[in-house]
Structure 1
Amino acid sequence: MQKLQFPSYSFRFKNSENKIAIFDEIRKKFILLTPEEWVRQHVVQYLLQDKNYPKSYINIEKLIKVNELNKRYDIVVYQPNGELFLLIECKAPEVKITQQTFDQIARYNLVLNAKYLMVSNGLNHYFCKIDFENEKYVFLEELPNFGE
């Protein structure tokens, strides 16, 4: 797999029927290793190891309803009080992050109301805080650490 713009993390892999799977600590199972999953697993390790988010507050790939359509978010992080803190959209490294990507995560966030958003293709990462009052994104250099 391609080298991404994250620190080096160690992962568990399994080869089954000539397909490689990567162990997901959050879902507690092996997941088929696709380019997008490679990015997702790096983001999870970034949250756990670099930002100190507890595993128990992280949720991956759950169904949500957006305008009567079933959609699936990539990663969310909850706060201790159960409110949604962070919504993350992961793309494969070859997928360019465009306005369309931000529109997608903004639509999901209309339903979820996270305070922070992250978009990453593993090579480029964008972080923003939602200014609900003025209805705009405020771009950040990085995400806050857990508890900040």
Structure 2
Amino acid sequence: MNDYFNKMKTINLKGKVYVFCFIRKQYYLLTQEEWVRQYIIYYIINKRGYNVKDIYVELKAYRAHMTHRMDIIVFKNKRPFIIVECKSKYVNISYTSCDQLMKYYLICKSKYIVLTNGIKTIIFGVQNKGKDIEFLKDIPHNY
């Protein structure tokens, strides 16, 4: 994480700290959830080898007449590959969080789903059209 702290681009405006998002190409208020989101983006790019052009942040998706915003979605071969739901470090990973992530899975049918609050991270590999789920120790490398 120290590597990330050294590379985080921030500015102070009117007593508030903003962080630059390399995906959305602008500054955002540095909330606890935004910190987790930016760290995961950094990790996916720099430690797992995914390309910036394949990553989307707060992508809107529609299901059952509702709009959902997925925190991070990584595409591979033009298909959803990883969905990440980020929470503040003060939010416990709970059934409600998992339920939200599963709704996103039903929309996108990605191969991997990740739920994190920056302290605890749960990674699932989904196969066989959602019938088989395996827990993983890390986000898979981009090969």
Q: TM-score, normalised by structure 1?
A: 0.90
Q: Which has the higher helix share?
A: 2
| Farther off after superposition, 9-18 or 40-49 | 9-18
2:66 to 66, 69, 86: 69
Residue 90 of structure 1 corresponds to 86
Q: Counterparts of 2:17 and 2:2 in 1: how far apart (Å)?
A: 22
Sequence identity of aligned pairs in percent? 30
Q: Aligned in 2, Cα 1:134/1:22: closer, same or farther, shift over 3 Å?
A: closer
1:1-33 per-residue CA deviation (whole Å, 9 max, x = no partner) reads xxxxx4531201011122110000111111111
Give the SS at the match of 1:23: strand
Q: CA RMSD in A?
A: 1.3
User: Within 5 Å, which residues of 2 pair with 1:134-145?
Assistant: 135-145=131-141
Q: Aligned in 2, Cα 1:84/1:7: closer, same or farther, shift over 3 Å?
A: farther
Residue 131 of structure 1 corresponds to 127
Unpaired runs of at least 5, structure 2? none
Give the SS at the match of 2:24: coil
1:21 to 18, 21, 40: 18
Q: TM-score, normalised by structure 2?
A: 0.93
| Farther off after superposition, 97-106 or 32-41 | 97-106
**Does 1:112 pair with 2:108?**
yes
Contact 2:33 2:87 in 1 (8 A): yes
Q: Counterparts of 1:115 and 1:72 in 2: how far apart (Å)?
A: 18
Give the drift of 1:57.
0.5
1:17-50 per-residue CA deviation (whole Å, 9 max, x = no partner) reads 2211000011111111100000000000100111
**Does 1:46 pair with 2:43?**
yes
Give the drift of 1:92.
0.2
Q: Aligned in 2, Cα 1:16/1:66: closer, same or farther, shift over 3 Å?
A: same
